[in-house]
A = this chain, B = another copy of it.
């Protein structure tokens, strides 16, 4: 597992770095970013928070616009930001921005033409954690996970299927029930085929209905988010969490949209939430 350093930049007393490696899961080069806070530069093993990005994004969007370093530096958190799909000339793609490259949905595709490379579930749950554990000063006993939109879906489903791995779970404007909304109803048949039992293992609401449990979740959702009513539908998560006894803190943020201006406004709250539990 060789890591190529793309860049390292001093920021907020820590180091913002970008790395490239050849993924065995996807069979492609993959790029991700890691912010190492001052505490870790000083030799301490630090807790790690995973940030999974949304449709069309790479590692770069949140790295440039997320405004997380000020708080990660204060709180001593390592922040890891993966890409959202395999990429490149030999990798399948779709004309739409909500399928294919930039839209991996954090699943292991089983269907043509996606199956050869679209193995983002294995990448973010197995390969990248092992790589991070081997190369960075992380305490893997203290992990949190968050994400935005499709990445919020990724964060919730990963956390629900690895109970105990993450001591803190949050999301910004997550797709909480992809099997019930147009984005998932396009991506899931393409990647996973027609059998909806496979879909349910990648749908946070369905996973909870089927018995998956975590203690608590923080979700922020902007009320001016253009995807709120037809793609995100946080009330579905609120309802199933209430039934399942999961302590969901769902904050509807008045007037906020789906952009990084929304994420960056509340990332401080999220990282403080994670740090308090890590």
Contacts and interface: CB of A to CB of B under 8 A. Distances in A.
A9 B259 contact: yes
A268 B70 contact: yes
Contacts of A10: 222, 224, 253-257, 261-262, 265
Contacts of A253: 10
Contacts of A64: 64-65, 260
Interface in A86-118: none
Interface residues of A, number: 25
Interface string A256-278: 11011110110010000000000
Main secondary structure of the interface of A (DSSP, over half): mixed
A13 B266 CA distance: 10
A98 to B, nearest CB: 22
A9 B261 contact: yes
Interface of A: 9-13, 16, 64-65, 67, 69-70, 222, 224, 253-257, 259-262, 264-265, 268
List of 8 A-B pairs having minimum Cβ-Cβ separation, nearest first: A11-B261, A10-B255, A9-B261, A10-B256, A12-B265, A67-B67, A11-B265, A64-B65
